[in-house]
Amino acid sequence: MIHPSAVVSPKAELGTRVEIGPYCVIGDQVRIGNRTRLHAHVVIEGPIAIGADNVFHPFSSIGARSQDLKYAGEPTRARIGDRNTFREFVTVHRGTTAEADTVIGSD
């Protein structure tokens, strides 16, 4: 289910039974696994792969470019496993270098 106020890129890949709440923004190169739930105002930018059964609470910012001062603008990625919970106002950035993804495992 995608709330009518959510903005989802046509290039995003959504698994089955994904729930996207009000005012969420899902960018290009985003893959979201089955049964993942996004509460209101979650922003997910790619490239990122998110596993199944994750929960993102309001105002989470996931997959944005690195804030590290060493980041030189090269393509970077993030990967998130299954069954994780991201509470309100959490930020998860992509890796700082092309060789170093940001990786969050399962559970």
| Each residue's pLDDT tens digit, 45-54 | 999 999 999 9
Residue-wise pLDDT tens digits, 21-37: 999 999 999 999 999 99
CA 95 to chain centre: 13
Query: What value does the mean pLDDT of the chain take?
Result: 97
At residue 27's C-alpha, the angle toward residues 25 and 30, to 5°, is 115
pLDDT at 21 (0 to 100) = 99
Residue-wise pLDDT tens digits, 3-17: 999 999 999 999 999
pTM: 0.95
Q: Is residue 38 part of a domain?
A: yes
Label residue 72 by pLDDT band (50, 70, 90): very high
Q: Is residue 22 part of a domain?
A: yes
Q: Is residue 81 part of a domain?
A: yes
Q: Is residue 42 part of a domain?
A: yes
Higher pLDDT, 51 or 99: 51
Task: List the one residue out of 48, 105, 49 whose CA is nearest residue 82.
Answer: 105
Task: List the one residue out of 22, 96, 27, 41 whose CA is nearest residue 14.
Answer: 27
pLDDT at 102 (0 to 100) = 97
- In the chain, the number of structural domains is 1
The enclosing domain of 11 has a CATH number of 2.160.10.10
Residue-wise pLDDT tens digits, 53-68: 999 999 999 999 999 9
Q: Which domain holds residue 45?
A: 7-104
Own/partner contacts of 27-32, CB < 8 Å, gap of 24 or more, are 27/63, 30/63
